[in-house]
Amino acid sequence: MACAVCRGIFFLSATNFLTIMPFEIRDIKSSDEEAVRKVSESNWDRDYVPDRFLSYQDNPLWHMFGMFEDGELLGFAAIQEVDGADFGWAKALRVRSDRHREGIGLRLTEHCVKLAKEQGLKSLRYATSSRNEASIGVAEQAGFDLIEEAGYFRLEDPYPQQPNPSPSITPIMAAPERVAEALQQNADLVPTNNMPVAWEFERKNIDGIKRIGKEANFNIITNENGLPISLYYFSDSTRNNQTTRAHTLYCTDRSIFVDVMARLVDDLKSCEVDRAAFFLGPRATEWSDSLLAVPEKYQGRRFLLYERSF
């Protein structure tokens, strides 16, 4: 679907007079690659968007657009449809660092909402860190509601020392159908409506679990009575010859949580993974803050899911 061209935006200047900034919002083209890179790098040195730009252009589920002023790119965003789902994502929101606080991010997010409605989606999702106040402000101003959160921290090689995993605990690899069955057996294991997976969230139903299973490996631990007491899964991504592993972990037993963390860190070392992210269920989030393995800068950090329904 072609992106409509829009013109004109109001903002308060430094002298508090209402001024009009001429602009246009149009689709991002392959020829805009260098401009996208400059906007990204004005915010983060290691931003993933430039490296994935061409794959986004070739992906029919992605629709990327930008705001231009006199032909110069000020910011961009994308809407990502989810194959087989009735919701999509507002993604890759970036505004040139010298043009922050002018309402550009909000305007781009509102355009994501407009496109989602035009495409017949029932809701649009927006994920961000609890430390990103500007991103949270944009989501709330654009009418999104906070519906879920997960504990979140990251580790990098060299990884911290962990206790040895217990030989008496045996994780079992599980298919999506077995995971859905486990969640019915123990409703307390995943007490949320959505499950984090690699900087996104999926719905806790069989369709969502199957979508997670397309990119992640599920593992379940049961107690002596066969009751599931832990579920964890991970997926890998590689960029610039460096591998990042994103884990999601749910537990109802603290000792099992400590054991699983030890297993996951051991795997990171043996597989030579460069960095890792951890998304945690409510109990695991509470217990993680007492782990010496969690870097201080991630203490109390959460990964947030916002949603706007239509």
Q: Cα dist. 246→243, 269, 275 in Å?
A: 10, 14, 9
Residue with more model confidence, 291 or 257: 257
Task: Identify the band that residue 5 occupies on the pLDDT scale cut at 50, 70 and 90.
Answer: low
Ordered by start, the domain boundaries in the chain are 9-121, 152-309
Greatest Cα-to-Cα distance within the chain, rounded to the nearest angstrom:
70
200 - beta bridge partners?
A: 197
Task: Provide the 3-class DSSP secondary structure of residue 19.
Answer: strand
pLDDT of residue 10: 46
pLDDT of residue 46: 86
Return d(Cα 163, Cα 99) in angstroms, integer.
Answer: 48
pLDDT tens-digit map of 121-131 = 999 999 999 99
Is the predicted pLDDT of residue 181 greater than 80, yes or no? yes
Is the predicted pLDDT of residue 2 greater than 50, yes or no? no
Task: Name the pTM for this structure.
Answer: 0.90
Return d(Cα 182, Cα 278) in angstroms, integer.
Answer: 21
Task: Identify the band that residue 240 occupies on the pLDDT scale cut at 50, 70 and 90.
Answer: confident
Q: Locate tokens 């009009």: which residue?
A: 20
pLDDT of residue 11: 45
Is the predicted pLDDT of residue 269 greater than 90, yes or no? yes
Task: Identify the band that residue 305 occupies on the pLDDT scale cut at 50, 70 and 90.
Answer: very high
Q: Cα dist. 85→148, 170, 194, 268 in Å?
A: 18, 34, 14, 32
Lowest mean pLDDT among 8-12, 92-96, 159-163, 166-170: 8-12
Lowest mean pLDDT among 5-14, 91-100, 105-114, 155-164: 5-14
Q: Locate tokens 């107690």: which residue?
A: 223
pLDDT tens-digit map of 79-117 = 999 999 999 999 999 999 999 999 999 999 999 999 999
What are the helix and strand counts (H, E) for the chain?
Answer: 8, 16
Query: Could you tell me the two tokens for 133?
Result: 């106040």
Parallel, antiparallel, or unpaired: how do β-strands 72-81 and 87-95 relate?
A: antiparallel
Name the class of domain 152-309.
alpha beta
Identical fold between 9-121 and 152-309: yes
Parallel, antiparallel, or unpaired: how do β-strands 123-129 and 87-95 relate?
A: parallel
CATH classification code of 9-121: 3.40.630.30
Is the predicted pLDDT of residue 14 greater than 80, yes or no? no
pLDDT of residue 108: 98
Q: Locate tokens 């051991």: which residue?
A: 266
Terminal Cα-to-Cα distance of the chain (whole angstroms): 19
Return d(Cα 243, Cα 64) in angstroms, integer.
Answer: 26
Q: Where are the alpha helices (DSSP H) in the chain?
A: 33-41, 49-58, 104-118, 133-141, 176-185, 206-213, 254-270, 282-288
The chain-wide mean pLDDT, for the chain, equals 92
* Closest C-alpha among 109, 102, 115 to residue 19: 102
Return d(Cα 67, Cα 71) in angstroms, integer.
Answer: 9
Task: Provide the 3-class DSSP secondary structure of residue 232.
Answer: strand
Mean pLDDT of 250-266: 96
Query: Could you tell me the two tokens for 208?
Result: 């969502």
Question: What is the phi/psi pair of residue 248, to 5°?
Answer: -125, 135
pLDDT of residue 290: 76
Say if CB 14 and CB 52 are below 8 A apart: no
